């Protein structure tokens, strides 16, 4: 699973060997085809193109989501100028300079995703991204990118004018009536958006009203008609919160269903772009019209057993339907179930197509005494969320009939498969982090971690990212939050210092996933290795880990001390070089003393020991000492202690362990392992 999957199919074009070489590894990681002129056809993993480059690019243009050109930007402008159409459909175009120092987001910056692609490539090849979009200057996501992580659909409006107003820093009003407000929590200071959150009731308020602002962004399930004469510009985003409950006579055509949905949405001022999916009773799962409709519109279909639907209180029950289907309501109750307003009390969940909502709106499992009141509240909640009660739709001259009801869910359906990136940020400075790990952080919609580590990677963030910092103690909460967001459809990076799989967050996240019955695939998980503290420490003092070694954490928070002690003893006895993590905290001071005693039982008091604190950070301290004297050096939780084996030695301020026990000279005759 490539980090570039959102940009596929991706084409790269290079006309000189230098750039071709620069782009080769990138193409391999991203799965892009690298096109070169026939003279460079000898290079590996390239595809020579025939004829003129201009014609070649034209032939690729409509089949590709993104292009990376290793060409002068002027040449690229000439090549693509005749091909450019509408910015909502143009591919992303990124230019990489001859030396690979810069990645320029040339075209399709927002909707095409070129800004993001330029940033990802920059992380991969160690270049500086050049983004010239004005909203980037504010540290804001583009107006036309805002809802992408949440699967919102762009509706009508003057996107250019509203984007320009934001770029000029003019106050732009945002009215949000539906969908997640998470994006609001992470806007830069001093941004020009004036946000109002309104949770619309039964039907959305459609009235326009006068304001001082130049431009407005609506985020709503309602569809608004903007008058061309209006003296300010508007755009609309539609979070997918509408669940269409549907019932029909057998054999009703897809066309009749489409017509019903179109007409009802229009009557109730609802945007069809805000439709999350369809819902019905189990026995209608094979209804051809419904299946065709879902397929054509790429909508999920949730179906529920009649026994579940019959438990739902609805405004318009029908005895006829009850006799036929075993539930007094199909459309209304299926819409409510799909919108996730009905769960625990109904017993079974619908077949949610992998989608799960995380926040039940209200606890409907009240005690007996409260039952009457709870039932009433529940009914009120259902009715409020049922935006459109059951409507029967027929057309003269056409056979079949369709019944439709529409419920609004609290959380939008993203339509995306979430991803969890478990990222090791390395010991400190950014240049100690792998390009793949950096790319993952830039790619993520949300970044979660301990506040201190998030500060270290601040420069990798991109506008619009959700960044959630947790205190050091709340590791499980961090894991759960990340899983929740990924299950909802976001790409989430969970960052750990060093390596995520070594006393880091990766283990916790996998444990939590397993506890939740994860199928191993959704959300998708990728682990990005990082340089762990002991490797970083070793690199700063020489080559102490050159022979068999082990790592032992002295933290007894999750591991009984007896086990730790047993391992220390075994490591000491077996002559392992031993890296000690979590050596001493303010309250846990005795463990390192015991560790020293255990090692002194088996190793010479002069055995070299290094204590490395805050390696690769501003306040780095390296101390070479001996087993006997190690406790004279201040040791705390920011330190890693490396105890050498019986042949480790110090040499001119370096700590070295020979590759074997036969001394350095044996090297020439031994089998080298490189």
Q: How far is the CB of 650 from ligand SAH (least distance, A)?
A: 19
Q: Which residues contact 386 (CB under 8 A, 6 or more apart)?
A: 314, 315, 332, 335, 336, 405, 406, 407
- Binder among 453, 503, 549, 599 for ligand SAH (CB under 6 A): 503
- Binder among 111, 582, 623, 645 for ligand SAH (CB under 6 A): 582
- Binder among 440, 577, 612, 635 for ligand SAH (CB under 6 A): 612
Asked whether 470 and 451 are in contact (CB, 8 A), the reply is: yes
- Binder among 53, 249, 637, 649 for ligand SAH (CB under 6 A): 637
> Quick one: 257 or 422, whose CB is closer to ligand SAH?
422
Q: How far is the CB of 537 from ligand SAH (least distance, A)?
A: 6
Q: Taking contact as CB under 6 A, which single stretch among the options 44-52, 397-405, 492-500, 513-521 is the one that binds ligand SAH?
A: 492-500
Q: How far is the CB of 479 from ligand SAH (least distance, A)?
A: 14
- Binder among 61, 226, 581, 599 for ligand SAH (CB under 6 A): 581
> Quick one: 413 or 503, whose CB is closer to ligand SAH?
503
CA pair distance 65, 94, nearest whole angstrom: 12
Q: How far is the CB of 423 from ligand SAH (least distance, A)?
A: 11
Q: Taking contact as CB under 6 A, which single stretch among the options 82-90, 217-225, 237-245, 575-583 is the one that binds ligand SAH?
A: 575-583
Q: How far is the CB of 592 from ligand SAH (least distance, A)?
A: 11
Q: Taking contact as CB under 6 A, which single stretch among the options 99-107, 180-188, 598-606, 633-641 is the one that binds ligand SAH?
A: 633-641
What part of residues 411-440 is at the interface with ligand SAH (CB under 6 A)? 427-428
186 near ligand SAH, rule: CB under 6 A? no
642 near ligand SAH, rule: CB under 6 A? no
Asked whether 641 and 583 are in contact (CB, 8 A), the reply is: yes
Q: What phi and psi, each to the nearest 5 degrees, are found at residue 435?
A: -55, -35
Q: Taking contact as CB under 6 A, which single stretch among the options 211-219, 379-387, 402-410, 499-507 is the one that binds ligand SAH?
A: 499-507
496 near ligand SAH, rule: CB under 6 A? yes
**Backbone angle region of 516, left / alpha / beta, with phi > 0 → left and psi within -120 to 50 → alpha:** alpha
499 near ligand SAH, rule: CB under 6 A? yes
For 551, the 3-state DSSP assignment is: strand
Lookup result for tokens 């039932």: 375
497 near ligand SAH, rule: CB under 6 A? yes
In the bound state, the residue with its beta carbon closest to ligand SAH is 498
Asked whether 10 and 32 are in contact (CB, 8 A), the reply is: yes
CA pair distance 469, 467, nearest whole angstrom: 7
Q: Which residues contact 74 (CB under 8 A, 6 or more apart)?
A: none
533 near ligand SAH, rule: CB under 6 A? yes
Torsion of CA 609, 615, 621, 625, to 10 degrees: 0
639 near ligand SAH, rule: CB under 6 A? yes
393 near ligand SAH, rule: CB under 6 A? no
- Binder among 615, 624, 642, 656 for ligand SAH (CB under 6 A): 615
Q: How far is the CB of 497 from ligand SAH (least distance, A)?
A: 5
CA pair distance 178, 176, nearest whole angstrom: 6
Asked whether 633 and 609 are in contact (CB, 8 A), the reply is: no
Provide long-range contacts, Cβ within 8 A and 24+ apart, for 168-171.
Answer: 168/134, 169/138, 170/213, 170/214, 170/215, 171/212, 171/213, 171/214
Asked whether 344 and 416 are in contact (CB, 8 A), the reply is: no
Asked whether 411 and 358 are in contact (CB, 8 A), the reply is: yes
Asked whether 419 and 525 are in contact (CB, 8 A), the reply is: yes
For 573, the 3-state DSSP assignment is: helix
Distance of CA 612 to the CA centre of its chain: 34
Distance of CA 671 to the CA centre of its chain: 46
> Quick one: 105 or 496, whose CB is closer to ligand SAH?
496
- Binder among 24, 205, 381, 614 for ligand SAH (CB under 6 A): 614
544 near ligand SAH, rule: CB under 6 A? no
Distances (CA, A) of 651 to 605, 626, 627: 17, 13, 16
540 near ligand SAH, rule: CB under 6 A? no
DSSP run (H or E) holding 254: helix 254-267
Peptide bond into 9 cis (omega under 30): yes
> Quick one: 552 or 656, whose CB is closer to ligand SAH?
552
Binding site for ligand SAH (CB under 6 A): 427-428, 496-499, 502-504, 532-533, 537, 581-583, 612-615, 617, 637-640
């Amino acid at each position: 699973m490539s980090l570039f999957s959102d940009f596929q199919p991706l084409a790269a074009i290079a006309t000189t060997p230098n750039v071709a070489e620069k782009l080769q590894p990138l193409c391999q990681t991203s799965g892009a085809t690298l096109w070169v002129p026939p003279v460079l056809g000898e290079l590996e993993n390239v595809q020579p193109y025939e004829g003129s480059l201009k014609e070649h690019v034209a032939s690729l243009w409509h089949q590709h989501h993104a292009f990376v050109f290793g060409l002068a930007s002027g040449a690229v402008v000439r090549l693509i100028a005749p091909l450019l159409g509408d910015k909502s459909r143009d591919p992303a175009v990124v230019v990489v300079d001859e030396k690979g120092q810069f990645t320029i987001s040339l075209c399709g910056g927002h909707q095409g995703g070129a800004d993001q692609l330029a940033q990802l490539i920059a992380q991969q090849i160690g270049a500086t991204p050049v983004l010239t979009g004005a909203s980037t200057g504010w540290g804001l996501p583009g107006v036309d990118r805002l809802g992408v992580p949440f699967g919102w659909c762009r509706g009508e409006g003057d996107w250019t004018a509203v984007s320009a107003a934001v770029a000029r820093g003019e106050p732009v009003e945002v009215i949000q009536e539906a969908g997640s407000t998470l994006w609001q929590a992470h806007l830069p200071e001093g941004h020009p958006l004036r946000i109002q959150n309104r949770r619309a009731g039964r039907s959305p308020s459609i009235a326009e009203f006068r304001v001082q602002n130049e431009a407005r962004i609506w985020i709503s399930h309602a569809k608004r008609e903007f008058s061309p004469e209006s003296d300010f510009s508007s755009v609309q985003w539609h979070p997918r919160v509408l669940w269409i409950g549907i019932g029909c006579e057998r054999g009703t055509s897809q066309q009749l269903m489409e017509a019903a949905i179109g007409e009802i949405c229009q009557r109730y001022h609802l945007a069809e772009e805000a439709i999350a999916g369809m819902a019905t009773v189990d026995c209608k799962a094979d209804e051809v019209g419904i299946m065709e409709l879902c397929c054509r519109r790429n909508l999920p279909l949730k179906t529920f057993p009649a026994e579940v639907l019959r438990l739902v209180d609805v405004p318009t029950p029908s005895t006829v339907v009850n006799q036929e289907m075993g539930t007094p309501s199909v459309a209304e109750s299926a819409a409510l179930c799909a919108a996730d307003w009905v769960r625990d009390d109904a017993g079974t969940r619908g077949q949610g197509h992998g989608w799960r909502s995380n926040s039940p709106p209200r606890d409907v499992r009240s005690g007996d005494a409260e039952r009457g009141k709870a039932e009433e509240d529940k009914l009120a909640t259902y009715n409020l969320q049922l935006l459109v009660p059951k409507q029967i739709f027929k057309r003269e001259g056409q056979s079949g009939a369709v019944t439709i009801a529409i419920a609004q869910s609290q959380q939008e359906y993203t339509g995306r498969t979430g991803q969890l990136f478990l990222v090791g940020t390395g010991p400190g400075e950014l240049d100690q982090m792998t390009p793949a790990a950096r790319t993952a952080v830039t790619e993520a919609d949300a970044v979660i971690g301990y506040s201190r580590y998030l500060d270290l990677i601040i420069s990798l963030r991109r506008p619009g990212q959700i960044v959630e910092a947790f205190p050091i103690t709340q590791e499980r909460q961090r894991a759960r939050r990340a899983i929740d967001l990924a299950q909802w459809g976001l790409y989430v990076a969970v960052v750990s210092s060093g390596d995520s799989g070594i006393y880091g967050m990766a283990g916790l996240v996998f444990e939590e996933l397993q506890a939740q019955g994860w199928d191993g695939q959704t959300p998708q998980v990728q682990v990005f290795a990082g340089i762990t503290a002991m490797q970083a420490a070793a690199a700063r003092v020489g080559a102490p880990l050159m022979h068999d070694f082990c790592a032992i954490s002295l933290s007894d928070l999750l591991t009984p001390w007896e086990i730790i002690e047993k391992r220390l003893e075994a490591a000491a006895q077996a002559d392992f070089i031993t890296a000690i993590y979590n050596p001493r905290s303010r309250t846990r001071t005795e463990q390192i003393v015991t560790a020293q005693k255990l090692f002194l039982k088996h190793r010479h008091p002069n055995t070299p020991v290094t204590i490395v604190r805050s390696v690769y950070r501003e306040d780095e301290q390296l101390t070479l000492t001996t087993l006997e004297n190690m406790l004279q050096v201040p040791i705390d939780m920011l330190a890693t202690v490396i105890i050498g084996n019986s042949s480790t030695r110090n040499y001119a301020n370096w700590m070295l362990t020979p590759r074997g026990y036969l001394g350095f000279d044996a090297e020439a005759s031994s089998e080298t392992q490189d």
